[in-house]
Amino acid sequence: MGLIYAINNLITADASINVSSEDSIYTKDKLYNIRPSYPFRFLGDRASVRANPEYICVDFGQDTNITLVAVFNHNLLGTSSGADITLKAADLVCPGISGAGDWDLSGNCVTSLLDRLVSNHRNFYKKLDCVPYEAWLLEVDDVDVQIPQIGELFMGQWAEFSGNVRLTPGRTDGPEFIFGQQQTHWGQDWVDFRSESEANFTLQFTNLQNQNVFDEFHLFLRNVAINNGKFVFIPNDSYPFVYYVVIKNVGHAVRNVSGSFGYLKTYDIELRSLTEGISLIS
């Protein structure tokens, strides 16, 4: 029941990404833009049958240790007969349209993610126990979804907060729906659904007068700051919920904690899940 987090998405512009199909606007570079609201989309059922399964293949160029995979702002259902979402890893080149079957070779990392889907929740994750591989393949076999979408694909390494970090009580888990209300020049209402912010959290760092605890706090904030204040957060690893969050109040946290009056005993960090569902382009 630990608080799990992962900061760095190892998918970057340096990785080679191969996809089975690609929308001309919502392109594969949107998979790792730290904006779940600006998604990648497969080409979909437009005038021709799409590849089945669809896939995303990430070649890191060298063996890479991936211990956490997370998918944000997806529209996958996984309810049709034969549907599956599978992660595979191997020291193989990324396949062509018909080459994904080669990844079922014995000894490679093959794990189903279908059971990680949560009804009415657009994010999922899974902790992995695989040896490092060079290439990682995400297969999506979901024929009931006309245009499969993934807002952010995260592949990285998870870490666990120490017992000196806890979630404060009273946090909100329910969705917060945000609407944009505008009027035309003639006074007509124009209501447009903008986004769904799924959760807010408050992390409380305690016992900061202990140098080891303070060092953990300092290192965490430094690494998150390098990543623009964003990281993947799992509030309880015995449940399937995962969030891509941003720190709202980091400010001069370290200076405040270790100022001229000595160390504070506690420091709260407010987190907000990144916006989903914005229609940037129709």
Measured between alpha carbons, how far is 215 from 131 in angstroms, rounded to an integer? 30
Residues 58, 83, single domain; the answer is: yes
Phi, psi of 3 (to 5 degrees): -85, 115
Residues 183, 54, single domain; the answer is: no
Average pLDDT over residues 215-219: 86
- What would the pLDDT profile of 197-206 be if each residue is shown by its tens digit? 668 888 888 8
Query: What residue type is assigned to position 1 of the chain?
Result: M
Q: What is the pLDDT of residue 281?
A: 44
Average pLDDT over residues 207-212: 84
Q: What is the pLDDT of residue 31?
A: 96
Please identify, among 129, 157, 185, the residue that sits at the C-terminal boundary of a domain. 157
Average pLDDT over residues 37-45: 84
Cα-based distances in Å from 168 to 39, 113, 202, 270:
32, 30, 6, 10
**Domain range for residue 52?**
9-157
Residues 103, 67, single domain; the answer is: yes
Q: What is the pLDDT of residue 167?
A: 86
Q: What is the pLDDT of residue 144?
A: 79
Q: How many CB atoms lie within 10 A of CB 225?
A: 14
The shares of helix, strand and coil residues in the chain, as percent rounded to the nearest 5, are: 10, 40, 50
- Whether 108 is in a domain gets the answer yes
Residue 106 has pLDDT above 50, yes or no: yes
- Whether 96 is in a domain gets the answer yes
Residues 73, 178, single domain; the answer is: no
- What would the pLDDT profile of 107-136 be if each residue is shown by its tens digit? 688 999 999 998 888 899 999 999 999 999
Q: What is the pLDDT of residue 97?
A: 43
Average pLDDT over residues 260-281: 71
Phi, psi of 220 (to 5 degrees): -60, -50
Residues 92, 218, single domain; the answer is: no
Q: In the chain, what percentage of residues exceed pLDDT 70? A: 75
Residues 153, 170, single domain; the answer is: no
Q: What is the pLDDT of residue 205?
A: 87
Residues 16, 149, single domain; the answer is: yes
Residues 6 or more apart in contact with residue 182 via CB below 8 angstroms: 189, 190, 191, 192
Residues 70, 112, single domain; the answer is: yes
Average pLDDT over residues 10-31: 93
- pTM of the predicted protein model: 0.84
Average pLDDT over residues 151-174: 83
Closest CA to 267 of 166, 178, 149: 166
Please identify, among 157, 177, 211, the residue that sits at the C-terminal boundary of a domain. 157
Residue 282 has pLDDT above 80, yes or no: no
Residue 185 has pLDDT above 90, yes or no: no
Token output for 46: 């437009």
Please identify, among 131, 157, 183, the residue that sits at the C-terminal boundary of a domain. 157
Cα-based distances in Å from 10 to 103, 166, 203, 249:
21, 27, 25, 26
Residues 14, 153, single domain; the answer is: yes
Helices (H) and strands (E) in the chain, counts: 2, 21
- Whether 3 is in a domain gets the answer no
Token output for 240: 């399937």
Q: What is the pLDDT of residue 238?
A: 87
Identify the CATH number of the domain in which residue 118 sits: 2.60.120.260
Q: What is the pLDDT of residue 71?
A: 96
Residues 174, 138, single domain; the answer is: no
Residues 178, 133, single domain; the answer is: no
- Whether 97 is in a domain gets the answer yes
Cα-based distances in Å from 118 to 19, 25, 78, 241:
25, 28, 10, 8
- Whether 4 is in a domain gets the answer no
Better-predicted residue by pLDDT, 275 or 37? 37
For residue 16, the cross-strand partners are 59
Q: What is the pLDDT of residue 181?
A: 58
- Whether 66 is in a domain gets the answer yes
Instruction: Provide the number of structural domains found in the chain.
Output: 2
Q: What is the pLDDT of residue 244?
A: 93
pLDDT band at 191, cuts 50/70/90?
A: low
- Whether 117 is in a domain gets the answer yes
For the chain, the average pLDDT equals: 81
Q: What is the pLDDT of residue 250?
A: 64
Residues 131, 201, single domain; the answer is: no
Average pLDDT over residues 188-194: 55
Return the residue matching tokens 């902790």: 127
- Whether 187 is in a domain gets the answer yes
